[in-house]
Amino acid sequence: MNILVTGCNGQLGNEIQLLEKDHSQHVFFNTDIDELDITNQSAIEAFVEDNKIDGIINCAAYTAVDKAESNKELATSLNTIAPAYLAAAVNKRDGWFIQVSTDYVFDGTKHTPYVEDDTPCPNSVYGSTKFAGELGAVKFCAKTMIIRTAWLYSTFGNNFVKTMMRLGKEKEQLGVIFDQIGTPTYAHDLAVVIMTAIEKGIVPGTYHFSNEGVISWYDFTKAIHRLAGITTCKVLPLHTEEYPTPAQRPPYSVLDKTKIKQVYDLEIPYWEESLAKCISQLK
């Protein structure tokens, strides 16, 4: 197959590129803004047609959650309009579309893990634009697979793991939110699942994926420091109201992975095992 990967310079896009050599039967077109402007409908249509694209993995997104609150136009362009353009273009070739989405489509007021059938109720610009992107993808491409994920980190780009490692080395004391609960996702593990879905065949629908387990940001930070060998920084638990942000965070955003495990016969790694792998690479 000829497969278009958008947002190839991001965390997930980079992890997918590392796996491409193991899937050499396919031709991958790795693009970012310099190679393809996904907000330009005619550019997308020409690219998909000229390169006979059979499937698209859309890793591109506007992910600056707080900045999105004051930059709604750009967030809408990248998170809502672009997925619809991509989906429509590949649908013309009877192709498939993978749209990566987020736990922010929920407000986080539930107390049990979110399943795919739960009604989205975003309370931020980021979450609203990503949910609208899901709707557009499904509307314009019959073979759409939506994968919602959460707390993404990797050895690439800027992310929570790297930030906490850096701050742990720089500071004697650090305050981290303890009353927001979720599950980290190692972008490498998500990339493996995406490749698995492509090889086994895209089963259209919405899926949830993160690593296994449940923790707070505070516990996550304590684990990062322990695995990185950082012992000189004291980590203190903070309430959400002690660290105000422009965008509301879901207080509980644990995703139920039962569906994706059953459909693709997956075994998902525990969050701490994946974190240890990532940190060993960073060190």
In this structure, are residues 205 and 264 in contact, taking their beta carbons and an 8 Å threshold? Answer: no
Start-to-end CA distance of the chain, whole Å, equals 36
Q: How far apart are CA 192 and CA 197, in angstroms?
A: 9
- Single out the catalytic residue among 85, 114, 126, 153: 126
Q: Which of these, 62, 247, 282, 255, lies nearest to 168 by C-alpha position? A: 282
Q: How far apart are CA 149 and CA 46, in angstroms?
A: 30
Q: Active site includes 186?
A: no
Residues belonging to the active site: 126
